[in-house]
């Protein structure tokens, strides 16, 4: 195969000559408008979910992290706000952070200066491992293709202590078994993480509105959940307080809240099924998680946090060594799924939390302002923008 088969002069010229960059006279160097993820509620999650859980993770193996540092996989966007926030945690914990960010530049943002500047600034921070941290301009979905650059980078940097998949849309937007879907990427990540230290964290932010998810995918998620419903009375009982009618969700006639809960549970169980499929068995807990409404109305955005803990893989039936398998095995699928229901039931809404606590809201706004200022946003404009949002 040869792309030079096309002997059209114009295409030859195009391939060889400079293509002038898009002249966008109006765009500023760090031109960015405020986005939904700049709202205080998102920063609340950054601090009280991500940072807080990472802090706990570090405390759990203090010496190990001090010595080895922490590997962090992320979708940092143009501002690397999550990395900035985590860098603070790392500084306080004395842990060196090495991050790998996937940020594909769209043709329009091809010249995004903000990301370059953010990376440059972070390189200078003492607790960022500058030589081993980078943002690559690849799609994270490509990691399911083992011949891709995206996969190769992953292999070279991983495994990770923290994975943060902060998606704008739904992770289930593609039909099942699609090549290059986010679900396929997550599966590949889990494969890579079999070599990860234990425990490790997975943060998953995903839209959960009905229209954002592929129907067949949603059906599959429902099917996964239904299996537990069929198998366990305890599960059925507990489920009543969480999702009233699974089939209503399937038919799209239930409230969005219900869809969101079902997606949370479905994703959790999907992870569980993969986590228990290999030689290494994982215990997967759904930690304090959040949900909120993107456009007002029903809550259709999930911010889930999972903690993965590995079982022992080697057991000895010979009797030469004392049998410790009972202590180190992971709970069964049924038990873990049951536990996950608690997490699904206890989803909290940061908008509601902040509405009910004026002091906390003010504090969060200040913190949000500070991190945006660090990222060179115009904070006066931010205040104005916030005012229009309330």
Partner 1 sequence: MSSSDEEIELLADLTRKEPSGEESHAELRTDDRVLARVSDGIYRRPGSALRELVANAYDADAKNVTIDMEPPRFSRISVRDDGSGMSKAQLVRLIHHIGGSAKRTTLGSRLHITSKADPNLSPGGRLLIGKIGIGLFSVSQLTRSFRIMTKRAGEQHRLIADIKLKTFSDSVEPTDEGTTKTGEVRLRSVKAKSKEHGTEIILTPLQPAARDYLRSKDIWARVHGNTSDSESEAFYPPPFHVGRLDPETEETITNSDQPPWDTSQSPLERFRSFYASVLEERTKRNANPKLEAALDQYLHTLWMLSLSVPLAYIDDTHPFDIPKESLPDAYVLSNKRNGTASQLKLRRGQTLRQRLGLESSSPSDFKVTVDGVELRRPLRFSKNATPGTRNPVLFVGKWQPDLSSVPDEVIGGRELSIEGYFLWGSKVIPVDHNGLLIRIADASGTAFDPTFLSYQVAERTRLGQVSSEIFAIKGLDAALNIDRESFNFGHPHAKLVSDWVHRGLREFATAAKRIQKTERETRRTDERDEYEKLIWKSVQRHLRKKRVSRVRLLPADEVEQARRVGQSVLRYESVFADFTPKASERALQAQIEAIATLLTEAGLLDQTDYDKQELLLNAILEIIRLG
**Cβ distance to partner 1 smaller for residue 101 or 350:** 101
Indicate which single residue of 134, 345, 348, 363 sits in contact with partner 1 (rule: CB under 8 A).
Answer: 134
Please report how close the Cβ of residue 150 comes to partner 1 at its closest, in angstroms: 7
Closer residue to partner 1 (CB): 116 or 323? 116
**Between 26 and 230, CB nearer to partner 1:** 26
3-class DSSP assignment, residue 168: coil
Q: With binding defined as CB under 8 A, does residue 138 bind partner 1? A: yes
Find, among 78, 117, 123, 129, the residue nearest to 101 by Cα. 78
Smallest gap from residue 18 Cβ to partner 1 (A): 6
Dihedral angle computed from the Cα positions of residues 292, 297, 300 and 306, in that order, rounded to the nearest 10 degrees = 20
Dihedral angle over CA of 50, 356, 33, 205, nearest 10: 30
Q: Which of 49, 133, 142, 368 binds partner 1 (CB under 8 A)?
A: 142
d(CA 27, CA 32): 9
Which residues within the stretch 23-62 sit at the binding site for partner 1 (CB under 8 A)? 28-30
Question: Is residue 119 packed enough to be buried (19+ CB in 10 Å), middle (13-18) or exposed (0-12)?
Answer: buried
**Separation of alpha carbons 291 and 303, rounded Å:** 6
Cβ count near 195 (within 10 Å): 9
Q: Which of 8, 131, 317, 359 binds partner 1 (CB under 8 A)?
A: 131
147 binds partner 1 (CB under 8 A): yes
- Other Cβ atoms closer than 10 A to 305: 22
> Is position 385 an interface residue for partner 1 (rule: CB under 8 A)?
no
Selected binder of partner 1 within 7, 8, 9, 16 (CB under 8 A): 16
Contact pattern for partner 1 over residues 76 through 115, marking x by CB under 8 A: ----------------------------------xx-x--
Sign of the C-alpha dihedral computed for residues 206, 210, 214 and 217 taken in this order: positive
Should residue 21 be labelled a site residue for partner 1 when binding is judged by CB under 8 A? yes
Minimum CB–partner distance for residue 216 and partner 1 (Å): 26
* C-alpha to C-alpha distances, 201 to 46, 98, 240, 286, 323, nearest whole angstrom: 14, 15, 29, 10, 29
Q: Which is nearer to partner 1, 48 or 376 (CB)?
A: 376
* Contact between 129 and partner 1 per CB under 8 A: no
> Over the range 210-240, which residues count as b (16 or more CB within 10 Å of their CB) and which as e?
bebbbeebbebbbebbebbeeebeebeebbe
Binding residues for partner 1 restricted to 343-382, rule: CB under 8 A: 376, 378
C-beta of 243: minimal distance to partner 1 in Å? Answer: 39
In contact, 264 and 302? CB cutoff 8 Å: yes
Q: Could you say which of 67, 116, 316, 352 contacts partner 1 (CB under 8 A)?
A: 116
Among 48, 61, 152, 345, binds partner 1 (CB under 8 A): 152
Whole-number Å distance between alpha carbons of 89 and 103: 23
- Is 17 a binding residue for partner 1 by CB under 8 A? The answer is yes
Binding site for partner 1 (CB under 8 A): 1-4, 15-21, 28-30, 110-111, 113, 116-117, 120-121, 123-124, 130-131, 134, 136-139, 142, 145, 147-150, 152, 156, 376, 378
């Amino acid at each position: 195969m040869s792309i030079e088969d096309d002997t059209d002069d114009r295409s030859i010229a195009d391939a060889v000559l400079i293509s002038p960059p898009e002249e966008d006279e109006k765009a500023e160097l760090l031109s960015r408008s405020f986005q939904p993820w700049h709202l205080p509620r998102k920063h609340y999650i950054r601090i009280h979910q991500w940072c807080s859980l990472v802090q706990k993770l570090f405390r759990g193996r203090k010496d190990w992290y001090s010595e080895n540092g922490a590997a962090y996989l992320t979708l940092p966007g143009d501002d690397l706000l999550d990395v900035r926030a985590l860098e603070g945690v790392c500084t306080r914990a004395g842990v060196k952070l090495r991050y790998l960010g996937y940020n594909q530049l769209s043709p329009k943002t091809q010249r995004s200066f903000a990301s370059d500047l953010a990376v440059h600034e972070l390189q200078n921070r003492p607790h960022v491992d500058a030589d081993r941290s980078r943002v690559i301009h690849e799609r994270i979905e490509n990691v399911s293709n083992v011949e891709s650059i995206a996969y190769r980078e992953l292999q070279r940097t991983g495994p990770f202590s923290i994975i943060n998949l902060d998606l704008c849309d739904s992770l289930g937007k593609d039909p099942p078994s699609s090549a290059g879907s986010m679900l396929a990427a997550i599966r590949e990540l889990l494969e890579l993480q079999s070599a990860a230290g234990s425990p490790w964290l997975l943060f998953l932010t995903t839209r959960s509105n009905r229209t954002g998810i592929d129907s067949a995918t949603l059906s599959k998620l429902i099917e996964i959940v239904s299996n537990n419903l069929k198998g366990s009375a305890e599960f059925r009982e507990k489920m009543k307080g969480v999702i009233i009618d699974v089939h209503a969700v399937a038919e799209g006639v239930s409230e969005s809240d219900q869809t969101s809960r079902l997606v949370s549970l479905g994703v959790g169980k999907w992870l569980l099924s993969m986590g228990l499929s290999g030689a290494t068995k994982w215990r997967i807990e759904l930690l304090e998680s959040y949900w909120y409404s993107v456009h007002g109305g029903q809550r259709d955005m999930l911010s889930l946090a999972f903690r993965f803990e590995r079982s022992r893989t080697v057991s000895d039936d010979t009797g030469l060594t004392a049998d410790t398998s009972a202590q180190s095995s992971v709970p069964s699928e049924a038990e873990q799924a049951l536990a996950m229901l608690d997490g699904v039931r206890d989803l909290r809404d940061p908008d509601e939390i902040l509405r009910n606590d004026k002091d906390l809201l003010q504090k969060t706004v200040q913190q949000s302002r500070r991190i945006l200022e660090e990222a060179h946003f115009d904070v006066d404009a931010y205040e104005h923008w916030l005012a229009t949002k309330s």
